A = this chain, B = another copy of it.
Amino acid sequence: MSNIREVARLAGVSVATVSRTLKSPERVLPETRDKVNAAVEQAGYRPNLMAVQFRSRRTGNLVILVPAIANTFFARVISGAQQAAQAAGYRLLLCDTQGRAQIEREFAALVYAHQADGVIQLRASDPFESMPTGAESLPLVNACEVVKGAPYPTISLDNRAAAQAMTEHLIGLGHRRIGIIKGPRSSPLTLDRVAGYQDALRQAGIAVDPSLICHGDFTLKAGDDGAGAMLELADRPSALFCENDEMAIGALRRIKQMGLRVPEDISLVGFDDIPFAAYCDPPLTTISQPAETFGQKAVEMLIALIEKKPIAERHVVLPFGLTVRGSTAPRARQ
């Protein structure tokens, strides 16, 4: 592989002229440009990005920390982020952290080590924590699940309002015993959703029953297990609210296995509106989120941060939608 000197020699110009021709052609005479371009062609020259970035102290790489790439919702977020990055001339370094802080730190360190220009974190946790001094001011954007009162920009959903709207939908159908399968204890997002669920219950004058709140981890199996536990209760709920669609789909299987029907015997709802939600039997009532927009906004804000451009709104809240399908129905007369 040839280098810039080789090209300069072939074109009969200085290395500076080659560099200029590549970076700002308008500052070079057309005929010089042509000579250089011909030489580049002839030498099969590709600039060594390593050297370019080393010198210009800008990599064009953005790290995005994803708790679980296999999660259909995050896949959509990534897709939006990738498109925005591409449009702005940046590349996305995707990292499946499996929610582990150690892996997050390792990848966030790429910024500290000048291997990436900034980080997008999709989990409520600061990946620069416990980094050497100065790290707190590195370009970081937090999206999806965000840290409350974070010093860095955030893009979030009003999870509390969304959960409340969903619970109100169920209450409106006559349900009064509504179970909820929530996420892991460590997730602030799940706290918000439970809070919204409780808001709706209280406003309807329904007592919050702790036995109707069950922990899960956003997987199919967690929904399956959670539904199993919930339906064995003596006074079982007539509606079940799962904090994501995966768990709802898991719950759906268990409900059917136990010989109950959705929505006749029990209403079931999810959260996220993943593609499979519309293909369940019955199709799932759920909260839809503009997943791609999360990724897109996060990238745009991060780039603004990196390029030190002003940011209009540091804490963006995206709208949710209540998508009613066939998995909810009025409570059956007992």
Which residues does chain B contribute within 8 Å of A51, judged by CB atoms? 54, 114
Bound-state Cα–Cα, A328 to B69, Å: 31
Bound-state Cα–Cα, A107 to B90, Å: 11
Interface size on A, residues (CB 8 A): 51
User: Which of A172-180, A185-193, A250-258 sits within the interface?
Assistant: A250-258
State whether A276 and B70 are in contact (beta carbons under 8 Å apart), knowing that A50-B50, A50-B114 are contacts in the complex: no
B220 & A113 in contact (Cβ 8 Å cutoff): no
User: Which of A75-83, A153-161, A198-206, A313-321 sits within the interface?
Assistant: A75-83
Bound-state Cα–Cα, A110 to B78, Å: 20
Bound-state Cα–Cα, A250 to B54, Å: 49
Bound-state Cα–Cα, A57 to B48, Å: 10
Which residues does chain B contribute within 8 Å of A24, judged by CB atoms? none
Instruction: Pick the residue among B47, B75, B256 that contacts A281 (CB under 8 A).
Output: B256
A70 & B76 in contact (Cβ 8 Å cutoff): yes
Among A70, A75, A92, A133, the one with the most B-chain Cβ atoms within 10 Å of its Cβ is A70
State whether A114 and B220 are in contact (beta carbons under 8 Å apart), knowing that A76-B70, A276-B276 are contacts in the complex: no
Contacting residues of chain A (101-127) with chain B, CB-CB under 8 angstroms: 103, 107, 109-110, 112-115
Asked if A72 is at the interface (CB within 8 A of a chain B CB), the reply is: yes
A275 to B, closest residue via Cβ: B220
Asked if A13 is at the interface (CB within 8 A of a chain B CB), the reply is: no
Instruction: Pick the residue among B48, B79, B113, B276 that contacts A46 (CB under 8 A).
Output: B113
State whether A93 and B96 are in contact (beta carbons under 8 Å apart), knowing that A46-B109, A75-B75, A279-B250 are contacts in the complex: no
Which residues does chain B contribute within 8 Å of A96, judged by CB atoms? 78-79, 82, 94
Q: How far is the CB of A101 from chain B (nearest CB, A)?
A: 14
Bound-state Cα–Cα, A70 to B95, Å: 14
Q: Mark A41-64, 1 if CB is under 8 A from B, else 0.
A: 000111111110110010100000
Which residues does chain B contribute within 8 Å of A48, judged by CB atoms? 54, 113-114
Bound-state Cα–Cα, A44 to B47, Å: 32
Bound-state Cα–Cα, A113 to B47, Å: 6
Bound-state Cα–Cα, A33 to B253, Å: 60
Asked if A91 is at the interface (CB within 8 A of a chain B CB), the reply is: yes
A44 & B114 in contact (Cβ 8 Å cutoff): no
A51 to B, closest residue via Cβ: B54
Q: Mark A222-264, 1 if CB is under 8 A from B, else 0.
A: 0010000000000000000000000001101100100000000
A256 to B, closest residue via Cβ: B281
Asked if A132 is at the interface (CB within 8 A of a chain B CB), the reply is: yes
Which residues does chain B contribute within 8 Å of A132, judged by CB atoms? 44-46
Which residues does chain B contribute within 8 Å of A59, judged by CB atoms? 50
9 chain-A/chain-B pairs, Cβ below 8 angstroms: A46-B113, A48-B114, A50-B53, A50-B57, A69-B94, A78-B96, A82-B96, A92-B94, A93-B94
